[in-house]
């Protein structure tokens, strides 16, 4: 299995192109199942999760053609996928495929909406606590689906098609909102989703669905209204920039010092994280080209942060912030409110010498002057990248083992960082 070797101590200077958002690309690809016509997606990142979803969609009979750069396209504009679900030949998503990536469970929504049946294995994914699907099932049942769980599979049927309904989520859920939104596009009548997730990726998917002929209003707010239509058609859509990749590199620069342009990044997608970074001593400037991040001379200042649904501080940047705070001048407090067990990085950061004390959902980080390189490993994507960030500033050599998780969510990570002066390389065994 590949490893990443980092020798810490170099400042980051230059330009990092920001890729298309993984967490928008995945549901957008799944939305391709809703139409017989071709959905063309531009700016799709080349990631292991995208490749895995291509295999899953292929199993349903979806033809996917992948093309490289378009003439005149900038280097970071990702790949273009042509997704054609003219004939869905199989409505089962098997365990072997779904267990590796949680978002693949979401195929249940378009399969049910269009084919009126689906059999989908209960999901796997990152090890960040129990991640139930009860709210997704609740939403589909409200839309009229009959659901049974048998042998690790969710078996869903809606013989006469789905029917519009009121869906009130008891807690904000990105997955629940994606599933309810996609399913409702082809339901008979009106669906109103309340307490919907407001993440930018939901809005991106809703924009694409509307281009496909859906009638969705209010996406990006807690109340989404969907007037069902009988058919969706093909369209072309560009995946929005990855706000978590943006925030991750912004934290890396805050950590090492230097001056980097995050090209193509959009500040409104991660304002809360940029505010926290500013408080921590980063200098953030937005321009037409993206976001420029530098660090002022005063060193890293401690912060107190709680993760929250959008527009709050994202849970997907919590581990990276913790790595940054490990070097702050004082004590920081980070509370994780979204996932109950998303602290796998704490014990690994400790290998660098970080002083972190966990008390329930809150981590107290007592900053130290110097981290020291170490062999480390993580079992979740964002935790893994927090170890890379720590390695960039740590004295000596860091070896990040099991980079499989990094490849799920960070496109060309070593290339982007080494292009800005980091000493980082992939070692393939």
Residues annotated as catalytic (active site), given as ranges: 126
In this complex, which beta carbon is closest to ligand EPZ, that of residue 118 or of residue 328?
118
- CA 69 vs CA 23, 82, 224, 237: distances in Å: 21, 13, 35, 15
Asked if 26 is part of the footprint of ligand EPZ (rule: CB under 6 A), the reply reads: yes
Q: Which residues 6+ apart lie within 8 Å of 321 measured at CB?
A: 251, 273, 276, 303, 305, 313, 334
In this complex, which beta carbon is closest to ligand EPZ, that of residue 56 or of residue 371?
56
Q: How far is the CB of 340 from ligand EPZ (least distance, A)?
A: 7
In this complex, which beta carbon is closest to ligand EPZ, that of residue 171 or of residue 355?
171
Q: Is 82 exposed, middle or buried (0-12, 13-18, 19+ CB in 10 A)?
A: middle
> Cβ distance 317 to 286 under 8 Å?
no
Asked if 345 is part of the footprint of ligand EPZ (rule: CB under 6 A), the reply reads: no
Q: How far is the CB of 368 from ligand EPZ (least distance, A)?
A: 27
Q: How far is the CB of 290 from ligand EPZ (least distance, A)?
A: 21
The runs of H, that is alpha helices, within 60-214 are: 95-98, 108-115, 134-142, 174-185, 200-211
Q: Site residues for ligand EPZ, window 154-213 (CB under 6 A)?
A: 171, 173-176, 197
The CA angle 145-148-154, to the nearest 5 degrees, is 90
* Binder of ligand EPZ out of 28, 57, 64, 103 (CB under 6 A): 103
Task: Give CA–CA dist 93/221, Å, rounded.
Answer: 31
Asked if 338 is part of the footprint of ligand EPZ (rule: CB under 6 A), the reply reads: yes
DSSP string, 352-396: TT-EEEEETTEEEEE--S--B--EEE-SSHHHHHHHHHHHHHSBS
Q: How far is the CB of 98 from ligand EPZ (least distance, A)?
A: 13
Cα 108 from chain centroid (whole Å) = 19
Asked if 409 is part of the footprint of ligand EPZ (rule: CB under 6 A), the reply reads: yes
In this complex, which beta carbon is closest to ligand EPZ, that of residue 13 or of residue 195?
195
Q: How far is the CB of 338 from ligand EPZ (least distance, A)?
A: 5
Q: Site residues for ligand EPZ, window 59-78 (CB under 6 A)?
A: none
Residues that bind ligand EPZ (CB under 6 A): 23, 26, 102-103, 126, 131-136, 171, 173-176, 197, 315-316, 338-339, 381-382, 409
């Amino acid at each position: 299995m590949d490893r990443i070797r980092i020798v810490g101590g170099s400042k980051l200077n230059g330009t990092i192109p920001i890729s298309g958002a993984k967490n928008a690309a995945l549901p957008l690809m799944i939305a391709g199942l809703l139409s017989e016509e071709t959905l063309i997606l531009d700016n799709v990142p080349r990631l292991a999760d995208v490749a895995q979803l291509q295999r899953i969609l292929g199993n349903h009979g979806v033809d996917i053609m992948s093309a490289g750069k378009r003439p005149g396209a900038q280097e970071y504009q990702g790949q273009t996928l042509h997704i054609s679900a003219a004939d869905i030949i199989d409505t089962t998503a098997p365990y072997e495929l779904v267990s590796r990536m949680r978002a693949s469970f979401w195929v249940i929504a378009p399969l049910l909406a269009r084919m009126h049946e689906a059999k989908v294995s209960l999901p796997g994914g990152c090890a960040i606590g129990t991640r139930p699907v009860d709210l997704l099932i609740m939403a589909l049942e409200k839309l009229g689906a009959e659901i049974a769980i048998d042998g690790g599979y969710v078996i869903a049927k809606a013989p006469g098609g789905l029917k519009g309904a009121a869906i009130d989520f008891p807690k904000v859920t990105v997955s629940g909102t994606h599933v309810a939104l996609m399913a409702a596009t082809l339901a008979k009548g009106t669906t109103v989703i309340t307490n919907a997730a407001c993440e930018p990726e939901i809005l991106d998917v809703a924009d694409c669905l509307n281009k496909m002929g859906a009638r969705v209003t209010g996406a990006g707010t807690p109340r989404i209204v969907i007037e069902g239509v009988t058919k969706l058609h093909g369209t072309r859509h560009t995946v929005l920039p990855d706000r978590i990749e943006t925030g991750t590199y912004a934290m890396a620069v805050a950590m090492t010092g230097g001056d980097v342009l995050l090209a193509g990044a959009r500040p409104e997608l991660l304002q809360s994280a940029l505010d926290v970074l500013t408080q921590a001593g980063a200098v953030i400037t937005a321009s037409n080209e993206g976001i420029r991040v530098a660090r002022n001379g005063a060193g890293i200042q401690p912060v107190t942060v709680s993760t929250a649904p959008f527009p709050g501080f994202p849970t997907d940047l919590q581990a990276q912030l913790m790595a940054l705070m490990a070097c702050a001048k004082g004590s920081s407090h980070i509370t994780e409110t979204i996932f109950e067990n998303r602290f796998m990085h704490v014990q690994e950061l400790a290998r660098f010498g970080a002083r972190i004390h966990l008390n329930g959902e809150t981590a107290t980080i007592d900053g130290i002057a110097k981290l020291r390189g170490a062999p480390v490993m993580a079992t979740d994507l964002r935790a893994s990248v927090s170890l890379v960030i720590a390695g960039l500033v740590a004295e000596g050599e860091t070896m990040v083992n099991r980079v499989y998780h990094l490849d799920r969510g960070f496109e060309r990570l070593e290339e982007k960082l080494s292009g800005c002066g980091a000493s980082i390389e992939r070692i393939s065994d």
